[in-house]
Structure 1
Amino acid sequence: MMPASSATGDKAPPKEAATSASATGSLIIPQIAIAVFTETEELARTAEAAASDRRLQRTRLTVHGGGLPAAIELYGKGPTPNLIIVETTAENAALFAGLNALADVCLTSTKVIVIGHRNDITLYRELIEQGIHEYVVAPLDVMSLIATIGRLYKSAGAQKLGKVCAFFGARGGVGSSTVAHNTAWSLASSFDSDVLLIDMDLPFGTAGLDFNIEAAQGVMEAISDADRLDDVLLERIMTQRGERLSILTPPLALTNAYDLRETDFNGLIDIARSSARLTILDLPHMWTAWVKRLLTDADDVVITAAPDLANMRNVKGVIEFLRSTRPHDSPPKLVLNQIGIPKRPEIKAPAFATAVALEPSLSIPFDPALFGNAANDGRMIGETSARSPVARSFDELAHSLISGKAVSRPARKGINALAARLVGRR
């Protein structure tokens, strides 16, 4: 396996470049034990931060000081973990002697990553010949360390995993489901992407109504027998809406209480990642352990809010929660919906953005006729009014989720563009 530094020819391997959260967002690292042995405080802090990251939540990662000698001493007395990461500043002779001693106490199934401080292609080649699985050059940031571990456990030729995006409303009735459903439709129809929409409002979800579909099976069948769930069963219980969009509808039965465990959706999400390029989670406005878990574990989060004080307070709280649980991820995308309701006092978008410390990605105007007609017909905005500004807004949000880039702002046209150019020349 090539190292993270990707050395070629006679050039020394470059230092590990900083890795963005979007580049590692879809990594799934298995349930393994990882031990990191450091020589510097910098790597120790990086490893401790990585241990709390959502991408390593299934692992058991421990951090030890003392570098390679400490690893040899510890595992001379007990079994080795699945992965050992050792930092070293030793010269070649001492390094190879230490690695040989470590090999004597390691299980054959244990993988070893060496983090060095020398950009040396000859050293890299010798380490690979000795059976070291990966050699990277310090310093590493948190995302680079996680990506290095992830690449080590990615099967050769494995299918690229899709992304998961969670949509959440700051309050009930702000239109989060409408935004989620229209964005899913836009992804499937305008960007030719395989999309899975999961309506997780189990008693009151609206996916069936919004898309005018009836499904005998859906979300509950997917999670009620998690041990049997695979891509074949998932395809059987999904409802198709067009060629690219698949939908899992909620049961809507009020005879049951939906008291779910935090991990009940884990199997479904894992299968969904391998089945669709992008999975849209339409989350209900509630604050339970499983909702918090899905928000934390998603690759992207979209918060929909109306421009009033209660929404602003709630958005600020959700953003603070996400920053604490997802410190190495990009901030959520904020959609301000129902802008311009007659006679309703509103907080202007700039003031809202200042208060929550996040710029809105979209501001969607209040248009009861457009949204009402679409809902009554069981169609999306792009189907009823494809050229409307609202439809273009959903396309922009969809593109940002696919590309990982910010929502683009439409260029000004006509006299406004001319005025802007003239002002810019002054």
Structure 2
Amino acid sequence: MANAASNLSTLFGTQVCEELMAFVDDEQTLAAAREVVADRSLPQEAVQDGGITQALQRIDTGHSPKVVLADISHSLDPEGDITRLVRKMGPSNSLIVLGTSNDVSVYRRMVSLGASDYLVKPLTPELFDDALSGLDKQSESAGANQLGRLTVLVGVRGGVGASTLATNLAWIMANEENLSTALLDLDLHFGTSTLSLDVESGGGFREALENPHRLDKLFLDSAMTRAGDKLVILGTEEPIEEFVDVNPDSIDALIGEISQDYSQIVVDLPRHLLPTQGALLAAADTVILVSDQTLAGIRDVNRITQAMTSLSTKGRIVRVVSRVGGERAAQVSKADFQKAMEEPVDYFVPEDAKTLTVCANAGKSIPSVSEKGNLTKILRTMAADLSDYHPPKKKGLFGLVLGSKKASKG
């Protein structure tokens, strides 16, 4: 845990320590926590009285210290409080829960709710320091193993083609860039990712979202649909009359599990889920906001951008105007659209109704139907930008001849 970044900062209206904050409920625990904080050259204000209730008041979604110790001794709803705090902290930060019950079933329950560790009172400096050291080792291991780059696409208006973009960008990453790619379609009732590539939906995606504590590699593999050697899809077509109770923490847990095995993770996020997925947006390497050339599109891109700025999204925000040109006249010209945007548009994606019709009827990707079309070219550029893919350099005639001579000598 680096001490260089341990100074207090006003991340969300009140002073917090970016490395560590402890929220405890009694004098003995306060003293023990402050001893550890002092030994690690962190400010004494990193330890606060008030337990998990105070932690929930101080921490906003997307603005969390890297490690939080939260005392649940006086909580009236400990499981609910832990769930809310984990959701606010996001998948990249760690929660240590402090309680009074010395029962292994309680430990397991805390971990299933998203806590990284559970400690039993009385807290000693040695116990707290050992827990922090353990998290440091876990973080180093995770940094070495979790290489998945996370891209989230959001259609700011209905029918702007965000799902089409998500499906085809994932397909290009897997089939042309040869990168292991996972596509998550979070429109659980009307998603089109599996339909677009003519594969069957998996059977366990809903259960994975409703029961994140069941997530493991074997369970996840059974829920995935393979759409090629390098591409898997998590999608479902749930009955319209059934409400799907998605656990707020399940998507974070799902991303964490997938990122261990796939270098690219593309998430098609319906806009109605935006209010519940602050942690996902904050953790994304790239968030793509897709709009059409309308006044409503301008308004909503700017509104979502402002909301995401408050989340301190770690990655960049890419603005895409889709379905440009074609038969449908734009409400706003390109020039006026650019002027009205608070940030410039990154990509204008052309309309290609003929290709899209063939793709929809055949269940094929856009590049496989129109290999050299303008739409395919812009999609390849976008995919390489998102995945940081650099195509291998082609050898010229001189290089080929030289390489042939070297091979013959060998």
Q: TM-score range by the shorter chain?
A: 0.5 to 0.7
Counterparts of 1:13-412 in structure 2 under 5 Å? 43-45=7-9, 61=21, 77-79=31-33, 85-86=40-41, 106-107=125-126, 110=129, 153-155=139-141, 158-287=144-273, 289-326=275-312, 329-342=314-327, 344-403=329-388
Q: Deviations over 1:315-360 (max 9, x none)?
A: 1100001111126x34311111011133623423343233222222
The size of the alignment, in residue pairs, is: 305
> 3-state DSSP class of the match of 1:334?
strand
Q: Distance in 1 between matches of 2:262 and 2:305?
A: 27
Q: Deviations over 1:173-218 (max 9, x none)?
A: 1000000000000111121111110110011101121010113414
CA shift in 2, pair 1:192/1:52, >3 Å? farther
Contact 1:80 1:110 in 2 (8 A): no
Contact 1:51 1:61 in 2 (8 A): no
Unaligned runs of at least 5 residues, structure 2: 44-123, 391-410
Offset at 1:49? 8.7
Offset at 1:275? 2.1
Offset at 1:299? 2.4
Q: Distance in 1 between matches of 2:148 and 2:288?
A: 17
CA shift in 2, pair 1:270/1:52, >3 Å? farther
CA shift in 2, pair 1:190/1:167, >3 Å? same
Which residue identity is paired with 2:374? Answer: P
CA shift in 2, pair 1:150/1:173, >3 Å? farther
Which residue identity is paired with 2:21? Answer: L
Unaligned runs of at least 5 residues, structure 1: 6-15, 19-35, 37-42, 64-72, 89-104, 114-132, 134-148, 406-426
Q: Distance in 1 between matches of 2:339 and 2:374?
A: 25
Report the TM-score when normalising by structure 1. Answer: 0.63
CA shift in 2, pair 1:112/1:387, >3 Å? same
Offset at 1:237? 1.7
Which residue identity is paired with 1:86? Answer: S
Contact 1:166 1:295 in 2 (8 A): yes
Which residue identity is paired with 2:316? Answer: P
Which residue identity is paired with 1:316? Answer: N
Give % identity. 24
Which residue identity is paired with 1:366? Answer: E
CA shift in 2, pair 1:112/1:230, >3 Å? closer
Which residue identity is paired with 1:397? Answer: M
Which residue identity is paired with 1:77? Answer: A
Contact 1:215 1:249 in 2 (8 A): yes
CA shift in 2, pair 1:109/1:277, >3 Å? same
RMSD: 3.6
Contact 1:231 1:275 in 2 (8 A): no
Q: Distance in 1 between matches of 2:356 and 2:350?
A: 11
Q: Deviations over 1:252-276 (max 9, x none)?
A: 3113113434323222121111121
Q: Deviations over 1:213-267 (max 9, x none)?
A: 1134142032233222112221122111111000011233113113434323222
CA shift in 2, pair 1:208/1:85, >3 Å? same
Offset at 1:150? 6.8
